[in-house]
Structure 1
Amino acid sequence: MSDQLNFTFNDTTVSAKPGQTLTAALMAAGCIPHRTAPDGSERGPFCGIGACQECLLEVDGQMSRRGCMTPVRDGMRVRSNDRLPDAAVSACLAKGEERLAEHACDVLVVGAGPAGLVAATELARGGMDVLVVDERHIPGGQYFKQNAVHPERQDDQGRKGRQLIEAMRASGARLWHDTLVWSAHREEGALVIGGLRDGEAFYIRTQHIIVATGAQETPAARPGWTLPGVITTGAGQTMLRAYEAVAPGRIVIAGNGPLNLQLAAELVGRGADVAAVVDSAPAPVKRPLLAGRLSMASPHLALAGMRHLTTLHRAGVPVLWGSVVTCIEGEDRVERVAVNQQGGAERWIETETVCLGDGFVPASELPRLLGCRQEIRNWPVTHPETGREPDGKTDQADVSVIGEAGRFGGAFLAQAQGMLCAARLLDRAGKPVPSGLERSRRMYRDNARFQKLLWKLYDPVVSLPSPQDTTILCRCECVTAGTVLARVSEDGITDLATLKRTTRAGMGRCQGRFCQASLMKMLPDPKNEKDFTAPQIPLRPVPVAALARQKPEWRGHVRVPIPSGLGATGPSASGAVETVDVVVVGGGIVGLFTALFLAEAGKSVVVLERGRAGALASGGNAGSLHAQLMAFDASADRDGPSMPARTLALQRESIRMWEALRTTFDRDLEIKVSGGLVVAETEADMDRLRSKVAVEQALGVDARILASDELRGIEPNLRDGFLGGAYCSEEGKINPMAATQAVLARARHAGVRVEELTALSVIQPDGTRFHVSAGSRRWSAGAVVNAAGAYAGEVAGLVGRRLPVFGAPLQMIVTEPVAPVVFSLLAHASRHLTLKQAANGSLLIGGGWSAGLDPVHGHPRPLRENLEGNLWVAQRLVPALGAVNVVRSWAAMNIDIDGAPILGESPDVPGFFTAVTANGVTLAPAMGRHVADMVLRRSERPDLEIFSPARFYGDQS
């Protein structure tokens, strides 16, 4: 093999060592910036483990490839990744075979680090079919990093890792490296885990999963931490140990913990210029008793730490104890850092690379996705942590969590857990268990005790100051501390999910992995896992083309049983019953608009919301503003005005209201009436569109039929071969998260009281008033508005009425931001699809594909079959999507009714009003206005009578 590879980077030739990744080779050559961020700034690699997505590059025409996970090949053509890459000219990211392959094993081990290697080896030796998957090219994990450039050059740590790897291979366990785990589902009594390898997606069906994904670093945000040249300590060690790459120039290593000292000593040993090590803990010599106990607990590890300090001392590298790097400065990349020492003294150090190592948190997305119970931990930052036993057992019988995927504890503790976990699973399967378990239990206890002492020794005595307003907290979306603080203060936000929807912080490619801790500092202390944002599929970005597969089309929503939205009646309130004019049940966008219009009319209004306001269907939809009939809906085939057709006038009225109201809010709602195009593939499709347009034109909608040669004038990236289409100029889009939060903020400003996490329990009519209870609180109201969405039927039942409202969870998909590629609201004549592009460049893919319910917690979540089908239809219309990555999917509980909203007063319960629709974002302002007018008795609209709940009451007594 040649001892040198060559590739081009932005048309300049760069040399690399065989085995290096693109990022390692580029950093060694001083080419630090990799991509352009949304704010236009240049970004360089950061985490070194493929989680932060800062190292994105264009590789051989494929955009958004992770440089730190892509090995160099001779002759590669590499360019910086644009802020908005052009998908229309980029190469497809995957092949797209007929069907995604499915594999099987007894036990799937995710992660080939110390814990996973030991568990896999013992399970395979015991006769179980074990498959190990790992995202990196070479197993060993972060502790046993193997030298990919010169495998024969291993230090003692690396050699021990190689022995574990060889033992695992000899055991019969299968290893798939370069394999990304992107999803997890439970189906038919088994776990189905989604994987991606070499651009090919597949599934693994297993009876048990062992999560050994390790930990990730949690560097604290500070001014300048997004500059090229700032990396994590772990990334620095990966570059050095695995790829023999050292960034040129002076290096400062800062944070907290012994890994920083180890990296500094290793860099010195390779001839690097280490300017300083900055640690927020006091010098160990100032804690002699604790240091002595630590040495007794593990002489070997304590001696290793002393050797690192001796190496640094001999090299003249200052170790600044009780100090923090508070600021990083530079024009285009790092040039200097400010160091604050205990007592307030400040000094500046010239440097070109900063390694930040502020601590670790478990990589727990997979066990959280599978419903494992979480505990809240506050060290080193506030985070959820999977509850597990020393042998990895969790509250989910088919999930084990071992090593630092559960809690940071070091490689030796992780290996002990791997052995104990394997023994438990072998015993459960009736197979012989390995010997020496007592030794493993002792090893676990000893290392747990050592780790506890270690982090007492490294307990910081100085901390970072509060971030400045301009400090970026969310690296992906470039959200600053000032923006976050303003929304927290002005909107009264107290939870992370609402903050995310309001600011986009945590919505980027890394799914909040590197900003969640900073954001949590701005909010009240979390009480449980629900106060954190939920992990979403895919767990890492995955190419559209890898997942897109044709699925059978379907008709009608899939109804699901939903958990009760009603709360239990609490004890009688000790205070007086509160008197208000109106109680609105449901804090979605329809309920909030209703409350807003009532409050602006001078009424006192309380909104009762069982969850967080705007967090369910209102904040979880794709944001279409529909002014036309959905061609894929069966209603398009009917003769005469169907209920959906009769609703068009209300939809158009509501869209006009949105446009008129947009300037009255304190934020951009991203409203754009861009027109809607529905394309036809067959003559049957064209017939359907002609019928649809005829109905719409009769109702005054600006709709027309287009010939095949007219389609590209509206959508230039549309696939060839469509026979024609239908175009409606009135169709539009909105950012539903921004809109819902804007209405919520304005309603509160108008005097509306929004009671979140308050589940309704009683509505008792009493003459002209209603007695309403929620928990221990009670209200007396002159009117009640039922805007409870999927729970509206239950709420109506409290006053003795029945509404045929059913839960129908739907899924949505969002891609990475790209240059403009879709210009209208795009749909298909006979396939479920809505496709549009948001203001930030992300493509939103929806159209009514059903979601399912999480089998553990019962909340909506996407179905893998429907993800595949939805993406296939989208890529079929716009082939350029094959070059794009999916970054997130989610599901929300929509409703299934008779195709029209329910709007009006109950005919036999005066003062009880209903405002419910499956098309809430489009219809919200109009429905809110009209139900408010009905409550106020201000006007009557005979044309709205068709939407009255009376249409369902004919068979009720």
Structure 2
Amino acid sequence: MRHGTATGGDTVTLQFDGSPVTARKGETIAAALVANGLLAQGRARTGEPRGVFCGMGVCHDCLVTVDGRAGVRACMTKAADGMRIGPQAGRPDVRTGGTDLAPLPAAPLAEEAVDLLVVGAGPGGLAAALAARRAGLTVLVTDERPAPGGQYYKQPATEGLTADGQALQGAKLIAEARGAGIALRDDTLVWGAFREEAGLVVGVYRQGVAGYIRPRTLIVATGAYEQPGVFPGWTLPGVMTTGAAQTLLRSYGVTPGQRVLVAGNGPLNLQVAVELLRAGAEVVAVAEAAPAPWTRAATGAAMMAAEPALAAAGLRQLAVLAAKCVPVLWGHRLARVDGTDRATDAVLTGPAGAERRFAIHAVCVGEGFSPVNEIARLLGCEHRVRGDGATARLEAVRDDAGGTSQPDVFVVGEAGGFGGAHIAMAQGRLAGAEAARRLGHSVPEDAEARRLLARHRRFQAILWRVFAADDPGLSRADDDTPVCRCEGVALGVLRRTIAAEGVADLPTLKRLTRAGMGRCQGRYCMPRLATLVGRPAVEADFPTPQVPLRPVPVAALAVEKPEWGGHKRALLPPFPPLADTAPLGIAEAPVVVVGAGIAGLSTALFLARAGVEVVVLDRGHPNGRASGGNAGSLHGQLLSFDHGAKAEGDGGAAARTLPLQRESIDLWMALERETGRDLEIKLTGGLMVAEDERALAWLGDKTRVERAQGIECHVIGAAELRALEPALDERFVGAAYCPQEGKINPLVATQAVLDAAKAAGARVFPLTDVTAIERDAAGFAVHTQRGVIRAGRVVNAAGGFASRVGRMLGVEVPVFGAPLQMVVTEAVEPLVTCLVAHADRHLTLKQAANGNLIIGGAWTAGLDPVHHHPRPLRASIEGNLWVAQHVVPALRKLTVLRTWAAMNINIDGAPILGEHPAVPGFFNAVTSNGYTLGPIVGRITADLIRHGEAGRDLAPFSIARFKTAPEATRP
């Protein structure tokens, strides 16, 4: 509902779902729709209606289409006259409708240099920018919101709204920043951050155009987002965070409904309840989880003494609520919200468990905060785990000035840990001054800011003792309650998966259920998932943030790049010691496999099925490295860089591997039948497209080589290509078609092999680092941080790290780590059927069963310079996306959800299989194109261990083909 009337020249007219809607100029689409009673604005992937939830662009529940453009966040987009708006479908159909989301860049993405970039135009960011500018730095401040001020200093955005004292303070600070010559750039999404040799690079997106900022120093002032608990009905339209309701009210004069319940924990709820009353809403109750403050009288008195003005403001709010007969129910929590297409009733539970029901139009929930810390984490700033249970979160390790473990990155305010606006402003002043000092400017010490910081920290500590309340965790949720809002994954599914698969880590739970893999990248569900698999102890227990940090149009980042100079053979990252030193509980085994990826687990499966006792050791979790990061292609034909001038050697090694690929695909299908699991295997056929007659002739030569190896592959013309894949660009004159190619879901397939291996008797030990292998006449002593295990035979299935295992035994295994990237788009209705590749350019493209488009093609990734794990390079992201949209133009209508990288393998185009001639009992099971070949590599290795032969000629795959491999000294 609107507070006041929108009339005359201050209004615009929109259409929503075909019906006219009146909006005030300056309102966001979300505010306009809520004002007109349209709380259901978008659709979840599962089809349920969704509406405004966070109000700050984090949750992506309010997605709408605008003039044919999908994926528009209604809460972050200004309404304009004549807009045609519709609900965002769970999976849009871009074959028959939709508009490109951004123009293709006409040139390389622009780069802008600045002394200091401040991300976040809230109190902390603005204070930091002013301090730095006054010290002489050039300063740019970006903010994702439509206007500066942040959550605390929300500014009125429409005519006729009266700013209160808090907003006026913000307006003064904003004016000071502009007057000081600080560039304030709103509506600017920071989608990525990179640490390169030349310094920091920050990716931004604004008004359809992407680019980069190169700051000498970065201050992260991105604040926090509200983290309400999980309860039945929390995804219904009409349920929103308290902050979202306050944004609607303060910036746009809109209340979420006439009858509103405010529930949760903390003083913000009281403030918003009072503001709703003053705007004309009926607040049916305020439910506060903490007990009444007069039960903690000494703490209340201490709060009054620490900061009398702020404490008095809280008392005035309680007085206003009492005067309006609004019940403040201390010790009560929101238990559930009922309704079908929107919230209609809310149920509270009190200290004795008694329920109270309220008929409502909206529910505002504020139960805690999580820092927006992804930028700092991407840049390697150290974080520590804080909180317990469902509130477990990462907070930046920083000093009073926001200085982090990285000297060019500061984190101020709630981006590093919740503390309120006054702490953020004091810390911002200190950070801006210190940033200037580090860039060579002389800046006096700001003693007043340090005093304010200390004072407000004391006040906040006392305040949260007054509002201390137990965390309910997931106790309010039932099995049908979705824990992951984006993917619609319910609590019951999570619990059954954990029980059935023995899941003990967040990444595995993500892979098996897709929880945390949606648009919000797990920001809401990760703390809940953590309670299900055990409290995280260190940063590495949390999933790594991925770029883009928010969905970005494919077209905005698509820039043509040079594509091939051979695989980048990266130095392998160092491994820090593992903390788990609990004894293995096993002293010996006939066979020890090093590596729990698909090759190692397949080896264990076939050995265990034959009755061989086998132990698998992995430094991480099974499927946690290259196999788990695989794009899931089942390759039957040669890749474009495995034939001709681009191929390793003469391409013969890759060609000789083709029969193994065909056989391994058959074995994958057999494993699907045997395990009774849906591995999402589809032999859709594979296309390698050609843009001209030269490329078509090259494909003809390639297919002759493939047919000589028993692969069904032939060249088709343009008409047949169109019939197979109408979504491909019309520029293509033909393709090589291999009906034996397809796709698989590695997220579930490796788990199925793991389960089958364990069911057959294999023992798998995660978080077990093989530190040395010694050899004697009796076999091998495999040393780990959890003890020594003796083995008769050792299998090296360590993938990109196989060379390290070889060196432990004094032999060179010529395997190089080659980090490669993958990209995934939002889900859409079926767009492409086949596995698509390009004859001249690096591309693999396919559509997963859930509708996401997965884009790869061996584009080089790098190693994170701090944590040393594989990470996509911005040039590869741009180039990969350019090729993808060049082949399938409809991709320009989609956003990129995330990118990731994994340590692939570079050998010579063929696997290394078999017993090492210089080290009897030491077997290599290492291959590039590893996911396709995983099962056959495992079966061959098992046959060699059991019988000494595999019924086939393995000479082309022996390590002996590398003439320079040194001999080991025999014992």
CA shift digits 1:684-714 (9 cap, x unpaired): 2112101111111222222111112221111
Equivalent of residue 383 in structure 1, options 378, 389, 393: 393
Where does 1:97-496 land on structure 2 (aligned, <5 Å)? Answer: 97=105, 98-150=107-159, 153-378=162-387, 381-433=391-443, 437-461=446-470, 463=472, 465=475, 467-496=477-506
Distance 2:676 2:110 in 1: 49
Q: Contact 2:718–2:732 at 8 Å: present in 1 too?
A: yes
What is the aligned partner in structure 1 of residue 3 from structure 2? Answer: none
Give the one of 14, 23, 41 matched to 2:30: 23
Tell me the distance in 1 between the aligned counterparts of 2:575 and 2:789: 19
Aligned match of 1:47 in 46, 51, 54? 54
CA gap of 1:566–1:218, structure 2 versus 1, over 3 A, is: closer
Other-structure match for 1:599:
608
Residue 932 of structure 2 is aligned to residue 922 of structure 1:
yes
* Pairwise CA distance, 1:113: 0.2
Superposed, which structure 2 residues align to 1:603-642 within 5 Å? 603-635=612-644, 642=652
In the aligned structure 2, how far is the partner of 1:456 from the partner of 1:543? 45
Q: CA deviation at 1:938?
A: 7.0
The alignment yields a C-alpha RMSD, in angstroms, of 1.9
Paired positions, count = 955
2:156 and 2:642 map into 1 onto residues whose CA distance is 57
Please list the CA deviations of residues 54-86 of structure 1 after superposition, one character each: whole Å capped at 9, or x if unmatched.
Answer: 110000110111000110000000000111112
Describe the shift of the 1:294–1:637 C-alpha distance in structure 2 as closer, same or farther (beyond 3 A): closer
Equivalent residue, structure 2, for 1:708: 718
8 A contact 1:706–1:726 mirrored in 2: yes
| Distance in 2 (alpha carbons) for counterparts of 1:83 and 1:955 | 54
1:915-936 alpha-carbon deviations (Å, 9 max, x no partner):
0011111011111111111111
Task: Work out the CA distance in 2 between the residues paired with 1:575 and 1:720.
Answer: 59
CA contact 1:565–1:759 (8 Å) conserved in 2: no
* C-alpha distance after superposition, 1:725-764 (max 9, x if no partner): 1111011001111111222222223322211111112222
Letter in 1 for 2:653: M
Partner residue in 1 for 2:891: 881
Q: State the Cα distance separating 1:427 from its structure 2 match.
A: 2.7
How far does residue 87 in structure 1 lie from its aligned partner after superposition? 2.0
Comparing 927-936 with 805-814, which one deviates more in the overlay?
927-936
Q: Secondary structure at the match of 1:688?
A: helix
The alpha-carbon distance between structure 1 residues 461 and 913, as it changes in their structure 2 partners (threshold 3 A), is: closer
CA shift, 1:912, in A, is 1.1
| Contact 1:676–1:824 under 8 Å retained in 2 | yes
CA distance in 1, matches of 2:370, 2:964: 59
Q: CA deviation at 1:954?
A: 6.0
Task: Check if 1:728 corresponds to 2:738.
Answer: yes
Q: Within 2, Cα distance between the matches of 1:798 and 1:432?
A: 53
**Matching of residue 942 in structure 1 with residue 952 in structure 2:** yes
Match status 1:653 vs 2:663:
yes
Compute the displacement of 1:514 (Å).
Answer: 0.6
Alpha-carbon contact 1:5-1:73 (below 8 Å) kept = yes
Distance in 1 of aligned mates of 2:742 and 2:408: 45
**1:93 equivalenced with 2:101 (yes/no):** yes
> In the aligned structure 2, how far is the partner of 1:954 from the partner of 1:138?
64
Specify the code of the residue in structure 1 equivalent to 2:253: E
Inter-CA distance 133–938: structure 2 relative to 1 (3 Å threshold): same
| CA–CA distance in structure 2, aligned partners of residues 630 and 492 of structure 1 | 37
Q: 1:96 to 1:564 in 2, by over 3 A?
A: same
Q: 3-state SS of the aligned residue for 2:128?
A: helix
Name the CA distance, whole Å, in 2 between partners of 1:646 and 1:726: 19
Q: Which range moves more in the overlay, 299-308 or 373-382?
A: 373-382
Alignment check: 8 A CA contact 1:391 1:418 kept: yes
| 1:766 aligned residue (769, 776, 779) | 776
In the superposition, relative to structure 1, how do residues 577 and 248 fare at CA in structure 2: closer, same or farther (>3 Å)? closer
What's the CA shift string for 1:159-216, capped at 9, x where partnerless?
A: 0000000000011111111000001112233111000000100000111000000011
Secondary structure of the residue aligned to 1:710 is helix
How big is the shift at 1:474?
0.3
In structure 1, what is the equivalent of residue 5 of structure 2? none
CA distance in 2, matches of 1:263, 1:434: 39
Aligned to 2:69: 62
The residue type equivalent to 2:422 in the other structure is F
Report if the CA contact (8 A) 2:812-2:965 is conserved. Answer: no
Q: Please give the alpha-carbon distance, in whole angstroms, between the structure 2 residues aligned to 1:468 and 1:338.
A: 15
882-891 or 792-801, which deviates more? 792-801
Gaps of 5+ in 1: none
Partners of 1:65 and 1:955 lie apart in 2 by 57
Deviation larger for 266-275 or 557-566: 557-566
- Equivalent position to 1:7, from 6, 14, 38: 14
Give the AA of the match of 2:103. K
Paired letter, 2:451? R
Percent identity, please.
50
CA contact (8 A) 1:53 1:66 kept: yes
Distance 1:824-1:568 versus aligned 2 partners, 3 A rule = closer
Q: 1:392 to 1:919 in 2, by over 3 A?
A: same
Deviates more, 1:579-588 or 1:240-249: 240-249
CA apart distance, 1:857:
1.2
Q: CA deviation at 1:23?
A: 0.5
Alignment-mate amino acid for residue 23 of structure 2: A
In 1, distance between residues paired with 2:119 and 2:676?
A: 46
Deviations 1:286-308 (A, max 9, x none): 21111111111111111111111
**Is 2:664–2:936's contact at 8 Å kept on the other side of the alignment?**
yes
| Aligned partner letter, 1:628 | Q
Q: Could you say which residue in structure 1 is the equivalent of 2:942?
A: 932
Residue segments in structure 2 that go unaligned for 5+ positions in a row = 1-7
Q: Does 1:861 align with 2:836?
A: no
Q: Output one character per residue of 1:744-802: Cα deviation in whole Å (capped at 9) or x when no partner.
A: 22222332221111111222222252221112411121211110011111111222211
**Code of the aligned partner of 2:855:** I
Q: Tell me, what secondary structure is at the counterpart of 1:407?
A: coil
Q: Quick one: structure 1 residues 948 and 125, their matched pair in 2 at CA, closer, same or farther if it must change by over 3 Å?
A: same
Shift in alpha-carbon separation, 1:668–1:955, aligned structure 2, 3 A: closer
Query: Is the 8 Å Cα contact of residues 597 and 797 (structure 2) preserved in structure 1?
Result: yes
Task: After TM superposition, give the deviation of residue 122 of structure 1 in Å.
Answer: 1.8
Comparing 448-457 and 423-432, the one that deviates more: 423-432
Q: Assess, with a 3 A threshold, how the Cα gap between structure 1 residues 501 and 151 changes in structure 2: closer, same or farther.
A: farther
CA distance in structure 2 between the aligned counterparts of 1:702 and 1:943, rounded to whole angstroms: 22
Q: For the Cα contact (< 8 Å) 2:161–2:253, is it kept in 1?
A: no
Distance 1:161 1:925, change over 3 A: same
**Residues 150, 563 of structure 1: alpha-carbon distance in 2 compared, 3 angstrom cutoff:** same
- 2:476 & 2:676 partners in 1: Cα distance? 27
Whole-Å separation in 1 of the counterparts to 2:269 and 2:676: 45
Residues 569-584 of structure 1: pairs in structure 2 closer than 5 A: 578-584=587-593
Q: Quickly say closer, same or farther: Cα 1:637–1:518, change in 2 above 3 A.
A: closer
**Equivalent-residue separation in structure 1 for 2:458 and 2:950 (angstroms):** 74
Whichever residue aligns with residue 101 of structure 2, its letter is: L
Against the structure 1 CA distance between its residues 956 and 391, is the aligned structure 2 distance closer, same or farther, given a 3 Å change threshold?
A: closer
What secondary structure, in the 3-state scheme, does the structure 1 residue paired with 2:790 have?
A: strand
